[in-house]
Amino acid sequence: MGEYGKPLPRGEGYHGDFYRFCKQHELRFQRCADCQAWRHPPRECCPHCGAFAWRWEQVSGKGQVYSWTVVQRALHPAFAEDVPYAVVIVELAEGVRLVSRVLDLPPQELRLGLPVEVVFVDVTPEVTLPMFRPCR
């Protein structure tokens, strides 16, 4: 044991850039340089106004639980010891949403609008995943 056997993000393209910022413990999302809309997952052009100009911008890391589903049966063997666990959509204070996990909280205690903050989990020496925990 000790091996992180779960699937890992690929370090390619804009997704690779996103996770390289996570490695530095910075949560950054693309933000349109024209209409200022945030977006995720990363893509070439703004889904709101169609502009191609954008920049990576850091967010506060504070947000709230937007939605979730509870996984009762692991679909990948590496998740077997985690069940039941919640896959959570967190809406950051800036309005952009991210699929993640909320740590330190049993799934049955999740609530819509629950305030959460980002925590960076170094799952391997190369990969850091952004997860969340309830605000204290």
Of the ranges 16-24, 49-57, 69-77, 96-104, which one interacts with Zn ion (CB under 5 A)? Answer: 49-57
Of the ranges 17-25, 42-50, 107-115, 126-134, which one interacts with Zn ion (CB under 5 A)? Answer: 42-50
When asked if residue 80 is in the footprint of Zn ion (CB under 5 A), the reply is: no
When asked if residue 96 is in the footprint of Zn ion (CB under 5 A), the reply is: no
Q: How far is the CB of 52 from Zn ion (least distance, A)?
A: 9
Q: How far is the CB of 111 from Zn ion (least distance, A)?
A: 32
3-class SS of residue 30: strand
How far apart are the C-alpha atoms of 15 and 51, rounded to whole Å? 19
How far apart are the C-alpha atoms of 99 and 75, rounded to whole Å? 17
How far apart are the C-alpha atoms of 54 and 46, rounded to whole Å? 8
When asked if residue 51 is in the footprint of Zn ion (CB under 5 A), the reply is: yes
Provide φ and ψ at 9, rounded to 5°: -65, 150
When asked if residue 90 is in the footprint of Zn ion (CB under 5 A), the reply is: no
- Give the count of alpha carbons within 13 A of 66, CB side only: 13
Cis-peptide, bond into residue 115, ω within 30° of zero: no
Contacting Zn ion (CB under 5 A), which of 37, 74, 87, 89?
37
When asked if residue 32 is in the footprint of Zn ion (CB under 5 A), the reply is: yes
Interface ranges with Zn ion (CB under 5 A): 32, 34-35, 37, 46, 48-49, 51
